[in-house]
Chain A
Amino acid sequence: MDNLAMVLDYSLLRFSDAVFLFLSFFFLLGYKCSIVWSNVLAAQLCGPVCLSCNGSIFKWRKRRMAKLRSILIACCMVLMISATAFAATEIQWWHAMGGKLGEKVNEIADKFNASQSEYKIVPTYKGNYTETMTAAIAGFRAGKHPHLVQVFEVGTATMMAAKGAVYPVYKLMADMDLPFDTGRFLDGVAAYYTTTDGKMLSMPFNSSTPVVFYNKDAMRKAGLDPSHPPRTWPELAAVSRKMIKAGVVKYGFITGWQSWVQLENFSAWHNVPLGTLENGFGGLGTEFVFNGPAQVKHIQQLADWQKDDVFHYAGRRSDGNPLFINGESAFLMGSSAALAGLKDNCKFELGITMLPYWPDLVKKPRNSIIGGATLWVLAKHKKAEYKGVAEFLNFLSSPEIQADWHQFTGYLPITYAAYELSKKQGYYKTMPDAEVAIKQMTLNPPTPNSKGLRFGNYVQGRDIINEELENVWTGKKTAQQALTDAVERGNALLRKFEKANK
């Protein structure tokens, strides 16, 4: 009888889950309140009109609704039935790794699950970075959040400010008596995700840095030596012109993630500030200052290069990659993590080199900063489950797992141990290109201008930068105007963030 009661209890629990899902579906529908609201308004007001026009269409829609409902009910039933018994404690991990990366994530989870029987990591792909973060936040508000969520670097300030929602990783590891040494991580990686007093709040997972990919075959065709790719911006422009003139390419270079590559990394690389108070690390009172002479000169130069196709704007994200893959553009500036995908798709010999610099601004470049994501532990779960989370994070940062992830994906090895292990395994001997990103990121010890950035509301901030840069590319504004406008609009967002998080 006990058993039966348990089963009943359990299925009731599952049933309430299903009801919750059902309701939340409608809530979501309702949340688009204004949309639905006005539809109803229209339907109410126009009802007589449409009925006199054509009744059958409404019947048809009704039938469709009935079908939708039956599908929903069927989904709930399936959910209830799928309530199979399991012994291990489940730990939910929401991530944004699609395609091949997603398969690798599943593989890591499988390895962990096979290594012990107490916990079961359940990775779920939730869409791109913003979608994943939004889903986790919406989940938190509804009390249905995962234990672990992958958040991209621009969301860092938002997560850090959410004190009651986040279980800091350093604290989790201490509470669970597991070893955790921030010094194990590469300086540039650790600096990005620790507080000013050196406490690491989230677990680094996938970090990348922008590099220059180039087409070696096209360089050869233009009579250039591919073993000496351009190192400065003037060289890059000269080489591009030669290649366009020789007719081997249409464009000199394209760039993905313009804000990250041409502003954020540009500033770190040339050791100029992006914002006050150590790029926001020093506190919420930070202000943007990226309309300085160095950035203005650079952006204006890019705009001028558009005229003779040395530079071509090809979208905000990695939209332009096909232009590089099909040989139309000689150079591509993008995330080092694009390496695996480019290798698979490029029909020519692929080269990788460091970002160019302006010799009239600096004698030598500083270091580049990272992008990518970390894993945040969300609060308000059971203590027993957190034990499993801690065990998994420990497993995840082991040199073997990290080295494998690094070599498979092109992301940086985030710990020194993983870097050493990859060296020992001879990875860089067979793949010297893969080391460019690490060398570039660790070229010099980071300065306050080059250890990263921490700006609140920066998801929106980047949108503004994208918009204003596009105003430069479309010729609506000069670089000076656009960057000053972006600074002004961005500062309004920073003040709003400061006010909301006091």
Chain B
Amino acid sequence: MAVMQDKRVHFRNKWLPYLFIAPQMVVILVFFFWPASQAIKQSVYLEDPFGLSSQFVWLDNFTALFTDPHYLESVKVTLVFSLATIGLSLSVSLLLAVFADQVIKGANFYKTFIIWPYAVAPPLAGVLWLFLFHPAGGVVAYLLNHAGIDWDYFANSGQAMLLVVVAAAWKQISYNFLFFLAGLQAIPTSLLESAAIDGAGPVTRFRTIIFPLLSPTTFFLLVVNVIYAFFETFGIIHAATQGGPGGATNTLIFKVFNDGFIGLDLGGSAAQSVVLMIIVMMLTILQFKFIERRVQY
């Protein structure tokens, strides 16, 4: 943090800095705080889809949620899904970044191809994976079946979960890769060279120098990936499994979308999104409280 303080700018006019952040604040207020407050308000109302009548129902929507065993099941599914997705995407992208950092010939070629999936919208990514793995017409599914693997995620919960985890992780690998690569390139080569001269092998160098120096990046990515896995994956689930079979991939965010935008249950959906918001806020605070201490800037 010392670096930041050196760069601090001093304004002569007391109001000028507030003026500078005013546009951003307006945007945040109008587009983030206002809708969030609407969601909170909506969550204590029971309303018909057309908005013709609405009644205040106290916390009925919330009690309905927490007494519904399927909601708690969905929490469990979300945890499994998120942990698997985050673990897979972070580890694979770190591996790729370490390799890409060492490549000399055609480095840009590799980088471009690894970054490419980031340009694909989540629903499209879902459809893409669907085309490959659809039990009735997918190319890979066909090959798998011929290889003797009974691939049918319509009737197999584990396979359905595997499919959405891999698809969601694949989508996020590019983003993580970019940051890891940037972080790797910021590590002074002199450090690594002197360590190598002192007899540290590649594994030791990674463990004692690269990984600790990469920790700010890793921490940032962890936060971003948690948010990604919780919020931005419903496009993939929507396209590939639609929460099925039997709710095996029905994550919290997909449930919010499904109940609100498909089922038109606005109150229940708003209550779920409020709960989700609280969960992620808590997760982020926890991460900053406990994990950030171990990060070396």
Nearest-neighbor residue (CB-CB) of B268 within chain A = A496
Assess whether A466 is in contact with B244, with CB atoms less than 8 Å apart: yes
A contact face: mostly helix, strand, loop, or mixed = helix
Interface residues on B, range: 35 or more
Known A-B contacts A53-B183, A457-B265; A476 and B46 likewise in contact (beta carbons under 8 Å): no
Interface residues of A in 303-352 (CB under 8 A from B): 306, 313-316, 319-323
Contact of A50 among B46, B134, B220 (CB under 8 A): B220
With A162-B52, A164-B50, A460-B259 as contacts: A34 and B247 at CB distance below 8 Å? no
Query: Cα distance A46–B274 when bound, in Å?
Result: 23
Selected from B30, B274, B288, the residue in CB contact (under 8 A) with A45 is B288
Tell me which residues across on chain B come within 8 A of A137, comparing CB atoms.
49-50, 264
A1-48 with Cβ < 8 A to chain B: 26-27, 29-31, 33-42, 45-46, 48
**Pairwise interchain contact B46-A319, C-beta atoms closer than 8 A:** no
CB distance from A480 to the nearest CB of B (A): 16
A52 touches B137 (CB 8 A): no
Which A residues lie within 8 Å of B223 (CB)? 42, 45-46
Size class of the A contact interface (CB-based, 8 Å):
35 or more
Is B251 an interface residue when CB atoms closer than 8 A count as contact?
no
Q: Are B32 and A57 in contact (CB under 8 A)?
A: no
A53 CB contact (under 8 Å) in B31, B220, B284? B220
What residues of chain A lie closer than 8 Å to B52, measured between beta carbons?
Answer: 162-165
Decide if B245 touches A38 in the complex (CB within 8 Å): no
Q: How far is the CA of A56 from the CA of B179 in the complex (A)?
A: 11
Chain-B contact segment, one of A229-237, A356-364, A467-475: A467-475
Which residues of the other chain, B, contact A470 by a CB distance below 8 angstroms?
154-155, 244-247
* Complex alpha-carbon distance, A26 and B31, angstroms: 8
A57 touches B179 (CB 8 A): yes
Contact of A29 among B31, B70, B224, B247 (CB under 8 A): B31
Contact partner, A473, options B3, B53, B245, Cβ 8 Å = B245
A141 close to B51 (CB less than 8 A): yes
Contact B280 A38 (CB under 8 A): yes
Residue-wise interface mask of B (72-88) relative to A, using a CB-CB cutoff of 8 A (1 in contact, 0 not): 00000000000000000
**B48–A161 touching, CB < 8 Å:** yes
Kindly provide the distance from the CB of A155 to the nearest chain B CB, expressed in whole angstroms.
Answer: 9
CB contacts under 8 Å to A, within B164-179, are 178-179
Q: Is A112's CB within 8 Å of the partner chain B?
A: no
B38 within 8 A of A: yes
- List 15 interface pairs A-B (beta carbons < 8 Å), by A numbering: A34-B273, A34-B274, A34-B280, A36-B32, A37-B33, A49-B216, A130-B262, A137-B264, A162-B50, A313-B155, A315-B135, A315-B136, A459-B263, A463-B258, A470-B247
Q: Which 10 A-B pairs have the closest CB atoms?
A: A33-B35, A460-B263, A54-B182, A470-B246, A470-B245, A30-B31, A471-B246, A165-B50, A322-B137, A30-B35
Known pairs A158-B264, A164-B50, A460-B265 / 14 extra A-B pairs, C-beta < 8 Å: A34-B273, A36-B31, A42-B224, A46-B220, A46-B223, A54-B183, A140-B51, A161-B48, A319-B154, A321-B136, A323-B136, A459-B262, A473-B245, A499-B46
